[in-house]
Amino acid sequence: MNIVKLVMPNKQELLKSYIKQFKCGGVFVKGNFEYNVGDDVFLIIHLQESGESIATNGTVGWQSPKSAVGYPSGIGIQFNNDKAGIEARNKIELMLGGAIQGQTNAY
């Protein structure tokens, strides 16, 4: 299984990266990856402000290639619908609080 590490420096970046449109939540990870939609990954999100880490399994839900105009390259990872995925979604949504209600994805 592929391991993806994501460092979130602050809540603002987490809000920009969080994908509430995925059924179980997810995040956009900027970078050049060789993954395909449907690939399974193990995701580790390190939250620098709190020093906490969130680990969960997920699936690549979309790709933004290097050639995408106006958007960074990267992958959207959907959290799995299991205990760890639900806990990851709940923890992130709790951290983001009301800010998530008006959120539109930045990436």
Residue 67 pLDDT: 73
Q: What are the 10-residue block averages of pLDDT along the chain, 107 residues in total?
A: 92 91 92 92 93 95 82 93 95 84 60
Residue 39 pLDDT: 96
Distance CA(54)–CA(44), nearest Å, equals 6
| pLDDT tens digits, one per residue of 38-59 | 999 999 999 988 899 999 999 9
Residue 30 pLDDT: 92
Residue 103 pLDDT: 60
Closest CA to 23 of 103, 92, 78: 78
Residue 102 pLDDT: 64
Residue 8 pLDDT: 94
Q: Cα torsion for 23, 25, 29, 32, to the nearest 10°? A: -20
